[in-house]
Amino acid sequence: MISKARLQKLAEEHGTPLLVIDHDELRKNFQMFRKYLPRVQPYFAVKAGADPAIVRTLFEEGASFDVASMPEFKVVYEKIKHLPARERQQWIWDKIIYANPIKPVETLRELNKYKPLVTFDNLDEIEKIKEHAPKAGLVLRLKVSNTGAMVELSSKFGASPGEAVDLILEADRRGLVVEGISFHVGSQTTNFQNYVEALNLTADIYTEAKARGYTKMNLVDIGGGFPAPYDKTVRPFRELARLINSEIKRLFPKNIEILAEPGRFFVATAGYSVSKIIGRAIRDGKPSYYLDDGVYHTYSGQVFDHCMYPVKAFKRGKAQLSAVFGPTCDAFDVISQAEYLPSLNRDDLVYSEKIGAYTYASATTFNGFSPAKVVHVNE
């Protein structure tokens, strides 16, 4: 937790718009994940908060990483490239999964040097991998139910259960090695049953593959989706963990490695934004505040992540229904039409909490406004 006084001080020191990342909170979230899911190795999904400092802290805690582009791969590889070649190969598998099922040929060619784990979900990708990255280890991405997730992730990726084993056998016929199966139940999943269903489906596919003669699979990657505690409606992580643990224990022998790809869960609560009121007006009878940060910037999560970040004042005072806008000329740049704020003046600061996931990571420079400055505390 960063106190309001500290946030204000940081804003005075660094200016606004500001995005503060609390590394104690990153460590706390990581440790909670390990504590409640001891059999699961977390591969942090770098896209949720792509920052080398975050990668460093989580690496030091013992995290592995899910990357989905070559630049993300390189940020993580920086951490292991100094290791002796012999050890490096094991480290790459232990530390990185390239979890984008569709990879440009140029990326595959480059990845082939490192022989990482990569996901796939269709025949065309098998052909590409065979030609350009035959040394990679393959993980089949399975399409699973995303019901009740805030962000749906199954419409674009995933082999259907009916074609899964055919694809595994096809990859095998071409001399590739399929190491296991992955899925994603949808981001910020509040429907815990999705994990149960997906794990059972995965176990069925393991059984079918074995029955059809393929026995080389040894990992299950349960993806991301672990919900951040944005508000009180989100059930505690330990409840979800209990459910996952018992299903894993029931369905998979001990020698099967279990991976996960949490993104949001590690970084959401570690982020705080502080911005400044640069103008005010009365519109439709409502006090309307214009901030130096908006939906093209730190609040981009409201668009891409379907998440809302309440705007809060440091000042006390009688709350009034107010509107909060971003700084650009676009009428789309609305943070909220209904925020309860005290009467605020130009240059007053406001803040939002739990704004670390899919926020500054998707900020643009639209209209010439720079994204918030990122500062790291408690590193």
Ligand X SMILES: *Cc1c(COP(=O)(O)O)cnc(C)c1O
Compute CA distances 214 → 101, 170, 205, 349, whole Å: 21, 11, 11, 60
Determine contact, residues 199/236, Cβ cutoff 8 Å: no
Min. distance of Cβ 117 from ligand X in angstroms?
12
Q: Does 132 bind ligand X (CB under 6 A)?
A: no
For residue 375, give the H/E element and its range. Answer: strand 373-377
Site residues for ligand X, 259-278, by CB under 6 A, read 261-265
Q: Does 54 bind ligand X (CB under 6 A)?
A: no
Our CB check for ligand X shows the closer of 187 and 202 to be 187
* Active-site annotation holds for 329: yes
Please state, in angstroms and rounded to a whole number, the distance separating the CA atoms of residues 33 and 167: 32
Q: Does 301 bind ligand X (CB under 6 A)?
A: no
Our CB check for ligand X shows the closer of 238 and 283 to be 238
Rg (the chain; Cα; Å): 22
Q: Does 187 bind ligand X (CB under 6 A)?
A: yes
Q: Does 103 bind ligand X (CB under 6 A)?
A: no
Compute CA distances 240 → 118, 137, 225, 268, 337, whole Å: 27, 29, 11, 18, 34
Min. distance of Cβ 327 from ligand X in angstroms?
28
Q: What is the dihedral of CA 108, 126, 160, 192, to 10 degrees?
A: -30
Q: Which of 5, 85, 211, 329 is catalytic?
A: 329
Our CB check for ligand X shows the closer of 258 and 341 to be 258
Residue given tokens 């259960």 in the structure block:
161
Q: Does 72 bind ligand X (CB under 6 A)?
A: no
Q: Which of 22, 51, 61, 66 binds ligand X (CB under 6 A)?
A: 66
Beta bridge partners of 257: 219
> Which residues bind to ligand X, rule: CB under 6 A?
45, 47-48, 66, 99, 153, 184, 187, 223-226, 261-265
Residues labelled as active-site residues:
329
